[in-house]
Amino acid sequence: MRDVRGPADDAGGGAWNVLLTGASSGLGLAIARQLLGDPRYRLVLTARAASLARFAAAGIVEGERVLLRQLDVTDAEQRRAVVAEIDERFGGVDVLINNAGVAFRSVLEHVNEQERLQQMQVNFLGPMHLMRLCLPGMRARRRGRIVNVSSVAGMMAMPTMAIYSASKWALEGATEALWYEVRPWGIHVTLVEPGFIHSESFRNTVWSREGERAAHEHDDGYRAHYDCMAPFVERLMRRARATPDRIARRIAALLRERRPPLRLPATRDAWLFYLLRRLLPRRLYHLVLWRGLPDTRRWGPGR
């Protein structure tokens, strides 16, 4: 029998205050809609300034249980302001869901310093700063939940997505350490690892400047990498059965568990990669993945 309780059991009968980043589209919007239907949550939904209008388009407006706030997770002043307002108005953040993210498409050689920093700022450093702001209050109250939305890319890497994987591996390592550090205060930390999701989110992948140039130059050594990988990923996402709504329901159920796991592979393919990585010898594991990549005979010099 699963060990489950509602948020109110931890909060002494009151609502839990949830801070959700990247809430205006995709998985973030699906999570917001899922939690809006549960009166046990008071939601602070955040997005960058340019995306705030999406809330109204989705039928989400401010009310007794909902605040909509501007938050670029790379902006230190905005991070402090949002957490300080929640502390003052509601008594602190009980649940932090780090969902905001960005994905650069590029081989490692085609990423410049500014692009590397932007990738890490959004996917790793921003969540780290938000956790540091929320943890003192959680420790004082001796309760709290932190959900970091990672990716199957946090357990395996794909060509042309090197720095995206690096950002998610960094998030996973820090979160695993945090799981040990905050257990004495009754704070639960979970990495949600979705695989391929049936959505149009692949269109939001950002090309590095050099990567975009190389993808259109016939004689570039990495041209075949881009030609093969971009449609390969698109096909996998279009064929995927997992949807943002399904994953949002998994996250909502996770918040009700008394002892949530450190890692939650949130789709069938994520579970498959998790098992392959655990069960196969490392050399065989990488060979299997290499064989699964599209048309690698075209890659490299003289192809």
Residue 4, beta-bridge partner list: 257
Q: List C-alpha distances in Å: 282 to 155, 156, 293.
A: 13, 12, 17
Residues belonging to the chain: 303
239 burial (CB, 10 Å; 0-12 / 13-18 / 19+) is exposed
Residue with tokens 């002494």: 12
300: left (phi over 0), alpha (psi -120 to 50) or beta: left
| Catalytic residue check, 164 | yes
DSSP class of residue 300?
S
DSSP 206-231: EEPHHHHHHHT-TT-TTHHHHHHHHH
Question: Which candidate in 164, 222, 226, 285 is catalytic?
Answer: 164
In 3-state terms, what secondary structure has residue 14?
coil
**Residue found by looking up tokens 């069938």 in the block:** 268
Query: CA distances (Å), 266 to each of 71, 141, 208, 271, 302, in order?
Result: 26, 29, 28, 7, 40
Query: What is the Cα–Cα distance from 31 to 25, expressed in whole angstroms?
Result: 10
CA 207 to chain centroid: 19
Which helix (H) or strand (E) segment holds residue 126: the answer is helix 126-141
Q: Which helix (H) or strand (E) holds 95?
A: strand 95-98
Query: Are 134 and 91 contacting, i.e. CB atoms less than 8 angstroms apart?
Result: no
Q: Round to whole Å and give the CA distance between 59 and 62.
A: 10
Catalytic residues: 164
